[in-house]
Amino acid sequence: MDREPTLVNDPTEPAPPALRNGLRTQLPWLITILGLVVLVVALVLVSDDPTEEVTTAPETSSPAVVAGEEPIADAAEVILPSVVHIQTQTGVGSGVIYDAERGLIITAAHVVDGHDTVRVRLSDGEQMTGTVLGTADQVDIAVIEIDPVDLPEAVFSLEKPRVGQLAIAVGSPWGLASTVTSGIISAVDQTNCSLETCVSMVQTDAAINPGNSGGALINRDGEVVGINVSIFTLSGANDGVGFAVPSDIAVEYAESIVTGVPIETPFLGVSVEDANDGRAGALITEVLGDTAAETAGLEVDDVVISVDGVPVLTRGDLVAQVRAHSPGTTIEVVVIRDGDEMTFEVTLGVRSEDLG
């Protein structure tokens, strides 16, 4: 006959007395062993090396800012003493001290347009009258003279900036002196034909507004890479497209104004228009006799597509790139002729006064 199974250690039943006494005797040892296991597991989780000493985590605090960690602030600190606020009877603008010993300030020509004197406020708050020495309207550059000042003059970088590098604009937008905005260099060799001629400029998305004109566009070292002169806008204010005259051009024309020695205009010797049939480039429609273009071998119907490696997409690009060089400079001109790409070395001449 089958026997009923016996349930051993049924949890619903109390343990026999002997078993209960055994558990009481072994319980402290079990707790001790369990505690050691937990400690070992904890050490393994904290460190790959279970023998490594366990230390208390240090208290955290915000790290001190060191030079280089705030490049915009560092650059602004360098340039701000050299940027001035300019007030005229018709508006406000900005300027940059480029020769403190002689009291010379570079600004935009349209800031001082029609004025012989202006009011200048320095970064330390001192105000004085400035005399307009002259303007170069073709590149929108002017020079103002004030009494020599005990302020640092700006350092101008004559190297072409790189697209994508940090760009910082400093000036007096809407009359708010010593304002700093930042962005990047959006483009270089960007043609701007809003002046008397087409000029190759630096483009930036750093906020530039009315009043910034004549102020500095600087790099992360606080060096001036351009003088802010204009914006492209549909709203009347900053739309993220600003233009600055490159430092090398600004300084060259400023020195010409100060010394009275005129800058000779480079001359290629061609008439051009935008290429047709959907092509990019500048189509040569005429080659003048006894000019750099004729000597080099350029011909009518050649389509210029680059100058010294800079793409030429329109007539304006060609004009701007030629004007970016000095007479006597040899440039590399690449053209398309009868479907073939050809390269010419052209030594620029001097534009005659008879040509206007």
Name the residue type at position 249.
Answer: I
- Coil/strand/helix, residue 110: helix
Instruction: Answer for the pair 86, 146: CB distance below 8 angstroms, yes or no.
Output: no
Q: Which residues contact 34 (CB under 8 A, 6 or more apart)?
A: none
Annotation marks residue 306 as catalytic: no
Annotation marks residue 200 as catalytic: no
Question: What is the rounded CA–CA span in Å between residue 162 and residue 167?
Answer: 10
Residue in this structure with the two tokens 């910082």, named with its chain if needed: 168
Per DSSP, the residues of 122-177 read -TTS-EEEEEEEEEETTTTEEEEE-S--SSPPPPBP-SPPPTTSEEEEEE-GGG-T
Residue 117 CB neighbours (<10 A): 13
Question: What is the rounded CA–CA span in Å between residue 105 and residue 96?
Answer: 5
Question: What is the rounded CA–CA span in Å between residue 350 and residue 264?
Answer: 6
Output the CA angle 43-46-47, nearest 5 degrees: 85
Residue-wise over 32-44: b if at least 16 C-beta within 10 A, else e? eeeeeeeeeeeee
Q: Which of 123, 182, 213, 306 is catalytic?
A: 213
Question: What is the rounded CA–CA span in Å between residue 347 and residue 332?
Answer: 9
Q: Which of 140, 189, 205, 317 is catalytic?
A: 140
Instruction: Answer for the pair 129, 235: CB distance below 8 angstroms, yes or no.
Output: no
Task: Give the number of C-alpha atoms closer than 13 A to the C-alpha of residue 80, restricted to the C-beta side.
Answer: 14
- Coil/strand/helix, residue 341: strand
Q: Which of 110, 123, 200, 247 is catalytic?
A: 110
Annotation marks residue 74 as catalytic: no
User: What are the angstrom distances between the C-alpha of 269 and each of 292, 319, 334?
Assistant: 6, 11, 16
As annotated, the active-site residues are 110, 140, 213
